[in-house]
Amino acid sequence: MAEVTFNDIIKPENLAYTKSKLMTNNVMHYCPGCGHGTAHQVLAEVLEEEDLQSRTVGITPVGCSVLMYNYIDVDFQEAAHGRAPALATAVKRLMPDKFVFTYQGDGDLAAIGTAETIHTCNRGENILMLFINNGIYGMTGGQMAPTTLDGMKSSTSPYGRNIATMGSPIKMADIVALLPGTCYVTRQSVNTAGGVRKLKRALKKAVQYQNEKRGTCFIEVVSNCPSGWKMTPVESNKWMEENMFPFYPLGDIKVPSEK
């Protein structure tokens, strides 16, 4: 049998994977290896596969992902720092047939926006909250965030976070899981292909629960920040597996009972 050449394989009918059509061709401003890019890709894939492009409104946060609307081709609204859940509440209540999601980092969701986050989850608004947790303020220069681990160095805790004076890191997903308004709370990662595929399944479940109007869905994505952590992307993923995952264990925290 003749050898199959490269040009024989590169044909549209043999396509196994390409980036989602909802991703624009703009080059992302994220640092090399940043988990934000991967999270955007998965989100765009799910929105495309669930045919949600025309009825999605995304709420962008303040942080590295503030320019997210340049990369995913759906409607977006920019919120003030930390207020994405409040804005999402308004959008969802005014346009109940829209699929509304917020996309926030840990400085946005867990620090300045804690009140909005907790009360939105407590009210059980029918929105999807996507929380990217990299344990640091990435955009402003790697300052300590509420989710920074014990002993972890950042530009404002150069000797490592000291729990006695700076408090313990906050597990936001575990906190909102206690509230009656949330229906689905899970923690995922995007550092491996398996992790990305699991996140995709979680997002599809969340879309299903949103269509059924079952309450707030909260998906935490443990991510990396190679620039803020001062590591290469591969080192940062390894560091994340060794240090972040023991404190922020992956998996479902709250799943709704089947109807």
Partner 1 sequence: MAKIKGAVVIDKERCKGCEVCVVTCPTQTLALAVEVNSKGYHFSYAAFPETCIGCANCAVVCPDGVITVYKVKVG
Residues in contact with partner 1 by CB under 8 A are: 1, 4, 6, 8-11, 14-20, 23, 27-28, 30-38, 41, 190-193, 196-197, 226, 232-234, 237
* Closest approach of partner 1 to the CB of residue 61, in Å: 18
Query: Which residues lie closer than 8 Å to 25 by C-beta, 6 or more apart?
Result: none
The nearer residue to partner 1, 24 or 168, going by C-beta atoms, is 24
Give the nearest distance from C-beta 175 to partner 1 in angstroms: 28
From the CB of 234, what's the least distance to partner 1, in Å?
A: 5
Our CB check for partner 1 shows the closer of 11 and 259 to be 11
Are 222 and 245 in contact by the 8 Å Cβ rule? The answer is yes
Among candidates 115, 116, 19, which has minimal Cα distance to 59? Answer: 116
| Core vs surface per residue 54-72: b (16+ CB within 10 A) or e | eebbbbbbbbbbbebbebb
Q: How far is the CB of 13 from partner 1 (least distance, A)?
A: 9
Cβ proximity to partner 1: between 66 and 144 the closer is: 66
Q: Which is nearer to partner 1, 19 or 230 (CB)?
A: 19
Closer to partner 1 by CB, 92 or 200: give it.
Answer: 200
User: CA 217 to CA 14: how far, in whole Å?
Assistant: 36
- Inter-CA distances, 84 with 51, 102, 120, 127, 227, Å: 24, 6, 10, 11, 25
Least Å distance between CB 127 and partner 1? Answer: 25
* Residue nearer to partner 1 on the CB measure, 42 or 183: 42
In degrees, to the nearest 5, what angle opens at C-alpha 116 toward C-alphas 113 and 117? 80
Closest CA to 234 of 65, 34, 42, 39: 34
How far apart are alpha carbons 207 and 226 in whole angstroms?
A: 30
Which DSSP category does 72 fall into?
A: B
What whole-number distance in Å separates Cα of residue 118 and Cα of residue 110?
9
| Minimum gap (Å) between residue 27 Cβ and partner 1 | 6
Nearer of residues 75 and 235 to partner 1, judged by Cβ: 235
Q: Which of these, 47, 89, 61, lies nearest to 216 by C-alpha position?
A: 89
Q: How far is the CB of 196 from partner 1 (least distance, A)?
A: 5
